[in-house]
Each structure stands twice: as structure tokens, then as C-alpha cells.
Amino acid sequence: MATVSRHAVRARSICILFVILFIQGCAQLPPRNASSLSYAFDRPEETRLGREVQPYLQNQPSDSGFYIQDTGREAFLQRAALIEAAEQSIDAQYYIWNSDVSGTYLVRRLLVAADRGVRVRLLLDDVNLDGRDSMFAALDQHPNIKISIYNPFVTRSGIGKWLNFVTDFQRLNQRMHNKTFVVDGALGIMGGRNIGDEYFDLHPQMNFRDRDVLIAGPIVADLSANFDAFWNSASSYPISQLEPDAVQEQDLNAQLDQIRASASDITGLTRVPPQNSRSALEYMLQTLSGLIWAEGKLVFDSPSVDAQADADSPQRSAQMLHQLVEQADKNILVESAYLILGDDQLDILRQIRARGVRVSALTNSLASNDLTTNHAGYARRRGAMLANGAELYELRPDAAGCSSWIEMPGFCNNGAVGLHAKSAVFDRKTLYIGSFNINLRSIYLNSETVLVIHSPQLAERLAQDIEAAMAPENSWRVTRDADGQLLWSAGEDQLWTHEPATGFWRRFKSGLFSLLPMEKYL
């Protein structure tokens, strides 16, 4: 009887699972509320930030100004200052916005900006939004704040969300990986950083070497066009439509008041950001004096409109990078958190090496990678990349460069550094910085944003920065011996035959995942 009972329980469980999957498969998003359509503020000359930028534009009317944010400290302070200096609009588009120290602080200051009349539009990808619906839904009730969710799940949380992923895989597998921030139509930021402590030198255990660009000039309008395209896309839903009951009306004011009450709280921050317009403008004026003016181009992928669209053709940002690769004559330096090439990309690598172009790439080691699965996809193709002529370097979590990359007191003695930057330099004349990893997901699936800058000055600076990160004290060089055995080295005296600074179990998991042909989805 006990055996029958167990079989019966198992059968019921399977039936329940099939019912849940059937329900998830039948569930659909509601028709999108078209009243959420809106467009970027386009009169920057009417704002203080716009007037401060104007004198620079008179001398370089067709060029844009660029300031590379190499450290998380700069990246955080410039975003905070721009929020305080804003008079008309703030448009922010992110793949991840964490509710940690930095993410919560910036949300509070967005509310303060909205209270003084600034229009705030916040567009977030849905895949990492778990647990924050209530806070964002509360903010959305403010008359000057609107929040939309890109490519949302029908079921918002729990196991139902991931069952929804199984039953609607093709649509939900396409994500908005863009990271852009535009204030008053005058200044913008784009690049590799999400919003979270590990991107701003504030995490106690793991901080990322990452890279963004502060932009002034004509390209800011292109950043706004990128934002509007996604904001007004059929794939973006107002959070109020997805979560109509997330905030009870009687609790709304209390939640907003609670956020306001802590708006100036800097607990957990290792630097004091500007918290009023005067100090913010002073800070930004100092930053503007460091802009490098050059020819540039912003390229962004179109938002997804067809869940059944072909995912086997490179997107617009990938096509732009391919053009840069084909135009290179001497050398290409690549820095990519995730580095996974498919057969087509390996063919391209072989062709450019055959015509004498040197290709050197820095990516995460297994020890510095935050995602073992992504490292496994890279490891699966690592030998082929070496065979086709790439020089490979893997970041050390104990990199000596941590002290100059991560501006957090005491961190480098106790924490690990990882790589999250997505950059490249072509012939030391042209560079790109963006959200685009050199992997199949960025090439075919995600929406990405890429900034191409034609500036020997900035290209040389970035090339030196990447090369310094490839030095033995910062990275392991990966090579093969005569028998094809992979070797990791840090100078002449240190050599490993397996991935350094990792235990057996982690190497086993990476090896197990690398057996699976899932590179495109990592």
C-alpha cells in the first residue's frame, strides 16, 4: 500500500506540474497601454547643464566630447551629480538596478529630483527585477516619475516566473542589456556598468573593473533616440499595468515619505556625493574641462518586436564591430567580461590573423568570473581561439592593479576583482566602449549599445590600460604546449596546467557545463 501511495503522490505531482506548465503556456501579457508613449527632452540650451556645454560645441560643432569613467568612484559620483543638477529630465535605461547601497541611494535622489519638477523615466529589463516591484510601483505613482519594464514575464515572481521562461523561451530569452543615462538632453552616460555596489567600488567582497563614457554634444541626442525607441517599444510595459495591486493607495504616501526621509542618508558610501544643485554643477564643470572632443558614432540594436524573429543573424551593433575588425590593419585589443566565439567568429579570427592582424583579448579567469556557466562557454571554445591565432589573457582575482582600479579603502587586501568592461581598440586609432560582450548572446540575442570613437588620443590611452591589465601581475597568459595541453603563466617562473586559484569542485562544474552546446544562451 505504501508503494502505491508513493506512486500516486508522484503521479499527482506530475499532473500538477503539467497543469501549471499548461496554464503558464496559455497566459499572455495584456495589451500594452499606448498612453505611456513619450519622448526625450530636446532643448538642452534651456538648462544650466546645456548652457555649460554650449561653449565647447561652438569650437567642435560636429564632434562630441568624451570622458572615460575608468573607476567605479567616478561613475557613481558623476551619476549622482547629474541627478542633482537636472532641471528638466532624467532618462535611465538599465539591465540591472540593485536595491543595495548605491542603487537605493540613487533611487532616493531620483525621487528628490522629481519632487522639484524633473521628469524621470526609468526603463528596466525584467529578468533581474525580483523583489523590487513594490518600490518601483510606488515611485511610479509620483506624477513626475514613470517606470516601464522591458519584455516582462507574465508571472512576476516565484517559480511561476521561471516556468513562464520555459514555456515562452524564445521571447523571454531576448533581453535589454543596454545601460544609458541622459540628463536634460545635455549630458549622457553609456557603457558597461549596471546600477549596483559591485560596479561602483562599494561591494565588500567583489568589485568589477568596468568602463563607461560621459558624453556631451550631438551623440547625446542619439542616446535619447535609443531610449525613446525602447521606451515606446511594444515590448515595454508601464509597471502600473503589470502590477496594478502592488501598492495600495493608502500606503502610497507613506512609502514615498519613507524614501524621502532617508534621501540624504549616505550610510555605506565611501565618498560623499553632491546633494544640491550648486555643488553638483561645480563638480560637473570640473569634469567637463576634461572632455576629449572627437568624431564618434552611437549604434544601438532595435528593440524586439517579433518573438519569432530570426535569432541567427548578427544584430546592428555586432555588424558595426565586424566592420571595425575588417578595417583593422595591425592590431586589435579586446577587453570583454564574457568571451565566447561561434564558428563564424572563429572563421573571421582566422582570416584577420592570416593577413597579419594581431588579436589580443583579456577576459575573466574562472577564479574572477561571477558566472561559472559563462566561463564554461568560453572554456569550450578557448582552444579553438588559440588555434586560430588569438592571444588570450585571463584576469587574476588578486590583480596588483586592483589598487588603482578599485577606489575602496582596504578592499584589495580582502576582496576579489572581476572584469565587467566591454571595450576594444583598433590599430590604436579607434575604440569602442559599450554594453556589448564579445559573445554569442550579444551578437544574436540581446539588445546592445555600442559607442565608436575615432580618437588616437583616447585609443592610445585605452590600449595602454588594457595592456597593463594583461601584464603578469594582473592576468594569466593562456597558451598551449606542443601536445595541445593548455598552460597558464604569470611570467617565466609561474606555470599551471589547470586553471589557477580554483578548487577541484569549481573546475569540475565548469568542465561539466562546457560539455553542453549552450554557448549562444550564456
Cβ-Cβ contacts under 8 Å for 90 (sequence gap 6 or more) = 82, 83, 110, 113, 118, 119, 120, 121, 181, 182, 183
- Catalytic-residue membership of 126: no
C-alpha cell at 274: 553632491
Query: Which parts of 81-186 are beta strand (E)?
Result: 89-94, 119-125, 145-150, 180-183
Residue 231: count of CB within 10 angstroms of its CB:
23
- Catalytic-residue membership of 420: yes
Q: Please name the amino acid found at residue 492.
A: E
Residue 78: count of CB within 10 angstroms of its CB:
23
In the chain, the N- to C-terminal Cα span, in Å, equals: 47
Concatenated DSSP letters of 396-420: -TT-TTHHHH--STTHHHHSEEEE-
Place of cell 594582473: 474
Q: Which of 179, 203, 375, 429 is catalytic?
A: 179
Concatenated DSSP letters of 220-259: HHHHHHHHHHHHTSTTEEEHHHH-TTSS-HHHHHHHHHHH
Residue 364 to residues 78, 228, 404, 461, Cα–Cα distance (Å)? 27, 33, 18, 21
- Catalytic-residue membership of 422: yes
C-alpha cell at 499: 586553471
- Catalytic-residue membership of 297: no
Place of cell 534651456: 46
Q: Which of 100, 322, 427, 520 is catalytic?
A: 427
Cβ-Cβ contacts under 8 Å for 345 (sequence gap 6 or more) = 438, 443
Hey, which residues does 182 pair with through a beta bridge?
Answer: 91, 188
Q: Which of 126, 184, 210, 212 is catalytic?
A: 184
Largest CA distance in the chain: 88
C-alpha cell at 347: 572563421
Buried b (16+ CB within 10 A) or exposed e, 317-342: bbebbeebbeebeeebbbbbbbbbbe
Hey, which residues does 358 pair with through a beta bridge?
Answer: 331
- Catalytic-residue membership of 427: yes
- Catalytic-residue membership of 498: no
User: What are the percentages of helix, strand and coil residues in the chain, rounded to 5?
Assistant: 40, 20, 35
Just list the catalytic residues: 177, 179, 184, 420, 422, 427
